[in-house]
């Protein structure tokens, strides 16, 4: 077993354990902090996949913006300490658990029938600059400039919508 | 070298955990946390298919960036809705928001 595989197994186990804590932790602030741990694990997985730029974006956008936004929302929607004692899960949680296990089993069973399932990665050609290629692909008309522009319109619409929804009219 | 299957199984596990969170949590903010886990699982799949396919085709990484943008938009609007609901109903528990239920 190579060092890379050991790192992957440790990171994968920590990520999955943190994800389980996210969905089971009673205190929502704890759940949001466990989400930060799971997102860091995913950032390390990106690094193992030679996508360093995406790992940086993951830390800046997901952990720096989205996770902090969650913590703000949890603190703004806290009920009085005495009232906040209901169960964390609804009464149909076992059905959700069953469906999640079935989804996992189904996905793994389906993937195992695919011939490329246990394929290994070919080496990255020397002189290949992934960040340069990504920037070119995002901005060239022959590449993905249209989805890129649509994403900017989507972000603007979400910005306006979020301000409008959360605005206090009084 | 890590085989592709390990990444795919990790992503499937993360997706299932997120699905459980969406289906089983009572708090609306916690449901959005589950959605984030599912989006991250999809991103792991996209990046690993980019790495194990032809690395000069950037579609996997480009769509990971698009998913980042969509996730940011979804969280901003979702949390604004939760805060707006909290102001009117003084609760964020999903099953207490039953105005549209017969």
What is the predicted ipTM? 0.91
CATH T-level fold of B4-93 = Helix Hairpins (1.10.287)
Q: How near does any CA of chain B get to the CA of A103, in Å?
A: 6
pLDDT digits (tens, 9 = 90+) for A114-156: 888 888 878 888 888 888 989 999 998 888 999 999 999 999 9
Minimal-distance CA residue of chain A relative to B27 = A88
> Per-residue confidence at B45, pLDDT binned at 50, 70, 90?
very high
CB contacts of A65 in chain B (<8 Å) are: 72
Where exactly are the structural domains of chain B? Answer: 4-93
CA diameter of chain B: 56
Q: How near does any CA of chain B get to the CA of A67, in Å?
A: 9
Long-range CB pairs of B30-33 (<8 Å, 24+ gap) are: B30/A23, B30/A28, B30/A31, B30/A88, B31/B94, B32/A70, B32/B74, B32/B75, B32/B78, B32/B79, B32/B82, B33/A22, B33/A23, B33/A31, B33/A32, B33/A35, B33/A70
pLDDT of residue A82: 42
% of chain A surpassing 70 pLDDT? 95
pLDDT digits (tens, 9 = 90+) for A6-45: 999 999 999 999 999 999 988 888 999 999 999 999 999 9
> Per-residue confidence at A84, pLDDT binned at 50, 70, 90?
low
Beta bridge partners of B27: B93
Give the single-character DSSP code of A78. P
Q: Is the pLDDT of residue A79 over 70?
A: no
The pLDDT of A49-71, averaged and rounded, is 91
Cβ–Cβ of A154/B70 closer than 8 Å? yes
Beta bridge partners of B25: A89
* pTM score of the predicted model: 0.90
């Amino acid at each position: 077993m190579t060092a890379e595989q050991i790192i992957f197994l440790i990171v994968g186990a920590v990520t999955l354990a943190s994800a389980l804590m996210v969905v089971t932790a009673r205190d929502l602030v704890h759940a949001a902090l466990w989400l930060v741990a799971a997102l860091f694990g995913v950032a390390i997985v990106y690094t193992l996949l030679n996508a360093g730029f995406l790992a940086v974006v993951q830390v800046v956008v997901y952990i720096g913006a989205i996770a902090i936004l969650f913590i703000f929302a949890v603190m703004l929607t806290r009920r009085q300490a005495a009232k906040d004692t209901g169960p964390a899960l609804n009464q149909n949680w076992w059905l959700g658990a069953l469906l999640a296990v079935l989804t996992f089993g189904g996905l793994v069973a389906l993937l195992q029938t695919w011939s490329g399932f246990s394929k290994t990665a070919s080496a990255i050609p020397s002189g290949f600059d992934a960040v340069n290629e990504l920037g070119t692909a995002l901005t060239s008309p022959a590449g993905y400039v249209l989805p890129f522009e649509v994403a900017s319109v989507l972000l603007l619409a979400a910005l306006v919508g979020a301000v409008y929804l959360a605005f206090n009219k009084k | 070298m890590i085989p592709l299957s390990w990444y795919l199984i990790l992503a499937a596990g993360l997706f299932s955990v997120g699905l459980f969170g969406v289906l089983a949590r009572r708090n609306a903010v916690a449901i959005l946390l589950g959605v984030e886990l599912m989006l991250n699982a999809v991103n792991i799949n996209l990046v690993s298919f980019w790495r194990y396919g032809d690395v000069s085709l950037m579609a996997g990484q480009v769509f990971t960036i698009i998913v980042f943008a969509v996730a940011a938009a979804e969280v901003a609007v979702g949390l604004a809705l939760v805060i707006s609901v909290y102001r009117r109903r003084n609760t964020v528990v999903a099953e207490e928001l039953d105005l549209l239920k017969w």
